[in-house]
Structures are given as C-alpha cells and as structure tokens.
Amino acid sequence: EQFTTDDYSLLERFSMSAHVDKIYAALTKNMDEAELTSDMVMKTVALLAARPQHRTRFELPQLGEEHSVIKLSAQSGTSPALDVVVVVDPVSRGAQKIGPILSVLQHTTNCNIRIFLNCIDKHSDMPLKSFYRYVVEPEVTFTPEGRLGPGPLARFSNMPPAPLLTQNMHVPDNWLVEAVASPYDLDNIRLEEVESVVHSQFELEYLLLEGHCFESTLGNPPRGLQITLGTELEPVQVDTIVMANLGYFQLKANPGAWVLRLRQGRSADIFDITSHEGSDTPENSTDIKALISSFRPHVLKLKVTKKPDKQHMDLLGDDDQAQSGIWNSITSTFSSTKDEPVDPADATINIFSVASGHLYERFLRIMMLSVLKNTKSPVKFWFLKNYLSPTFKDFLPRMAQEYGFEYELVQYKWPRWLHQQTEKQRIIWGYKILFLDVLFPLHIKKIIFVDADQVVRADMKELVDLDLGGAPYGYTPFCDSRTEMDGFRFWKQGYWRNHLQGRRYHISALYVVDLKR
C-alpha cells in the first residue's frame, strides 16, 4: 500500500491535535520561536510518541520563589535537562525519604531541581520521632580487584547517646529482609553504653509471590483453598491457604521459574483453576508458571471453579464424616482402643512464640526449658523469624542439640492492604492472632501459643487434649495457687472484678489453636 499526499496530510493533522501543540508550547518556553522549525518539531514528536506514558502530566501553578525554595542546577547547562519540582513539608516522613532520592537523581541525570518547602503553621507535637536513611546508590560499585562491592549502606552519625533507640527497616512490600549479623540488641540501643559503633547487616532472603483468588461463578474468595508453589523437580516447596479477606495469598519465592498448583487432596479434588492473570504460562500448559525476574511486586489473579460433580461440597467441611451417620460415630466412640496407630506428627506438641530483643529472647529460652521440663511428649518449637536477632538464631541449633527438641522458623509479611502499623510492638502482637492460619505448614493441626515471658508448670499435653467444643481458640485462665501474688492480680479488684462477675480472667499469654477450624 502506497502513502499518498492525503495520507501525509491526515498524519500531520493527527499529530498536530495529539502531540504537536503541547510539544510546541513546551519548546517555546526554553527556545526562541525563530529557531523552531517544523522538521525539528516532527522529530521531537517521533521520539516522544515511541515512549507512551500512561500517567497524566500536570503543570504546577506559578509558585513564589522569594523565600522557601531550594534550587539545584543541572550539572550541564548546555545539554537537555529534566525539570523536577518538589513540594514537601520539611518535617514530614515524606521529606525524609525524598531527600536521598533527589540526591541520587541529581548525580545520575541532568536535571534542574526546585524544592518548595511547604510548612504547616503549627504543630502540637514534633511530627518526626525517628532518624531515617534511604539506602540507595547512584551506580553499582566494584572493588579494586573487580569484584562486586559490599553494597549500599546507611550511616547514622552525631546521634544522641542517651535515648533508647530501636533499629527498623522499611522495605518494599514484596521483600522479606532479615538481620543476619549483629552482636548488639537492635531493639534496645543506648549509644552511651556502646564502646565503639553499632553495626548490623541485613539480607534480602525472599521475594514474595502474591495473589488474589476468587470463585468464577459467585465471585467470592474460596476461603481455605490450599495452594502450593514449587519447581518441576520439587513440586511442593511452600504452601499456603487463601484468606477470606480479598482472597489474598502470599508465597515465599526467589528469582527463577516457579509452578503454582492447587494442593493435592481436597482443594484439587473440588476445584479447578479456570483462568489466571499476571502469570508467565506458555500456551497449552496445564500448570501455572510464574517467572520471578525482578525485584518488583509480582501479583497473580486466579479464578477457580468447582468441578461439575462437586458443586455441593464445602471446602472446609468434612463430607465423609457427615455421611457416616450417628450410629457410626457412636460405634467409633465406644470401640476405639489405645492400640490404634498414632501418627508421630500428631504426637508432637507444637509450641509457637514470638520475641524481639535480647531481653525477651532470654525470657524465651527460660520458657522453652520450662516446657521441656514439664512436658513428657516430643516438643517442636515454632518461632516468628521476622524479629529474631542473629545471636538467637545462631544459638538455637546448639540449644536444640543439647536439650533434644525440634524447632522451625516461620515468617509472613504484613499484607499491603491491611492497615499498616508504625509501632513494632503492635505489629508483633498482630502476628500472635491475625496470621495463625497461614504461618504454619498445612499439615499442622494444633498449635499452642506461649508468651516468651511465661513459665510453664504443667504438661502441655493437657492443652492439646482439651476439648474446644468446636471453637478455634481455647484460652487458659490465670492461675491463683500462689496467694503471695494476689497483690499483682488486678482483675480481682475494682473494675475488672465487677466486669468479670466471678468468671476467670483470661489473657493471650497462653492459648491453644485448632488450625483446622
């Protein structure tokens, strides 16, 4: 097909209406109209049209530059330069983050930066209560031997020695980062008690594969649907369940090609994955493949459908048990014997606890020993890895070998859609309750949470065998055998005494959880 004069005329009219007028207005701000030619404008249109931007651009109104403005000129005044305008409150968290970014931007690109300080007239309290460093490098560094450099670092200097400080990291939503080396208690830093400097090393351990799953017919999340992630050679490396909230799930992964499937068993028997978005699945493939090839978030959207012969089955129900009838349940109750084989995994008592800081990690070791001393059954401890110190993680294998127990570290990232907490202690409290159904492997049936500062004086098998009456949680009441401690039992007087009306006082320091419920 040949281009005629009319075709070129149509192209010119389209370019004029879509691009040229805006580009011409922008060019005339920095150039003399006499220097602009139609050929120059058309070349500019061709360059910019090849890089479409989905985000809309807008012009800031004319702002006064007499007082509260900082100007950073471009490194080269003769080369094309980006025009960056920043309006920020200087005592806000945003100002803490934008400063290092602008510094890197100035080193890596040729840009003119104007920073307008938009202050709030009055503050009842100081908005900033933390010292912040944004870890970013203008370019990759190498050692004199040609090896990759040690990586970016954050350095804090001229810090006040008296206050008690806590070190924390703000990382992208899909990163799981942990401290791997530090002899100091990063939760309780008092610089006046430190001989030299406090140093710590962090490591990016996993990149999360996140997603949302819904039923294709009703649009509801298939609550309790089990999903596995693995490779061709090892199909199941990690597993999780779909939450009722937004059908959310997250799986720990690393760069590479991964295969996502429904877990063999009830999930795969009832449901099929009928559609998916955000995956890298080739055509004619029955498996959903996800390629983790960048540090950016990777979010999948799955839709599942019940199989034709499973339409009336409940994923969380037990249809086989429901169909057995009352007589079978009575028979099994009276005919059960102690000689029935017991799964070793069911005989093991699973204890879960969280701790942060060297002080509570010392309490945690005391709690572990009290459990082992009074419990006759095999014990396996589960600890939230997110906030454990490198010292404790290095000590755990030696302690397990000495006292003969199993342990495992679990971790979960606070979902991006859930209200973000700023206080570390509140986040840790949230992990005690909110994510119990997704923290542990799916084969774990019951878990007992014990606070790090508790001392156990009885066999934990009592809690495992406790009949919860169909409830998912069972909280133990506070003991009152030691009368000398009555002065500390605040619930026996005042408001709490009237509120309880003779009932026992319970708290989340010790409770049993039925994970299947």
Q: Domain ranges for the chain, please list them.
A: 5-50, 60-142+149-155, 205-306, 344-471
Residue 334: its pLDDT value, please?
40
Between 358-374 and 390-403, two packed helices, what is the crossing angle to 10 degrees?
Answer: 20
Which residue in the block uniquely carries the two structure tokens 């012969």?
309
What is the model's pTM?
0.74
Q: Residue 430 has which token pair?
A: 């949230």
Q: Is 304 exposed, middle or buried (0-12, 13-18, 19+ CB in 10 A)?
A: buried
Over residues 262-276, the pLDDT tens digits come to: 988 888 888 888 888
Q: Please spell the DSSP secondary structure of 343-382, one letter per residue.
A: -HHHHSEEEEE---SHHHHHHHHHHHHHHHHH--S-EEEE
Percent of the chain with pLDDT over 70: 91
Q: Residue 79 has which token pair?
A: 């080369």
Give the C-alpha separation, 329 to 326, whole Å.
5
Over residues 354-398, the pLDDT tens digits come to: 988 899 999 999 999 999 999 999 999 999 998 899 999 999 999
Over residues 458-498, the pLDDT tens digits come to: 888 988 888 888 888 888 887 777 888 888 888 888 888 89
Give the C-alpha separation, 155 to 446, whole Å.
44
The stretch 46-50 carries a mean pLDDT of: 72
Say which CATH topology domain 205-306 has: Immunoglobulin-like (2.60.40)
Identify whether the C-beta of residue 167 lies closer than 8 Å to the C-beta of residue 197.
no
Q: How many residues does the chain have?
A: 517
Residue 323: its pLDDT value, please?
45
* Superfamily of the domain at 344-471: Spore Coat Polysaccharide Biosynthesis Protein SpsA; Chain A (3.90.550.10)
The stretch 7-12 carries a mean pLDDT of: 81
Over residues 169-223, the pLDDT tens digits come to: 888 889 999 888 888 888 888 888 888 888 898 989 999 999 999 998 888 898 8
Q: Residue 476 has which token pair?
A: 């133990």
Residue 328: its pLDDT value, please?
42
Residue 188: its pLDDT value, please?
87
Q: Is 332 helix (H, G, I), strand (E, B) or coil?
A: helix
Strand-pairing partners, residue 202, are 179
Q: Is 102 helix (H, G, I), strand (E, B) or coil?
A: helix
SS3 content of the chain, % helix, strand, coil (to 5): 30, 25, 45
Secondary structure letter of residue 100 according to DSSP: H
Query: Does pLDDT of 439 surpass 50?
Result: yes
Reference 355, options 429, 460, 433; nearest CA is 429
Give the C-alpha separation, 309 to 298, whole Å.
34
Neighbour count for residue 177 (Cβ, 10 Å): 16
Strand-pairing partners, residue 398, are none
Find the farthest-apart pair of alpha carbons in the chain and give their distance in angstroms, rounded.
102
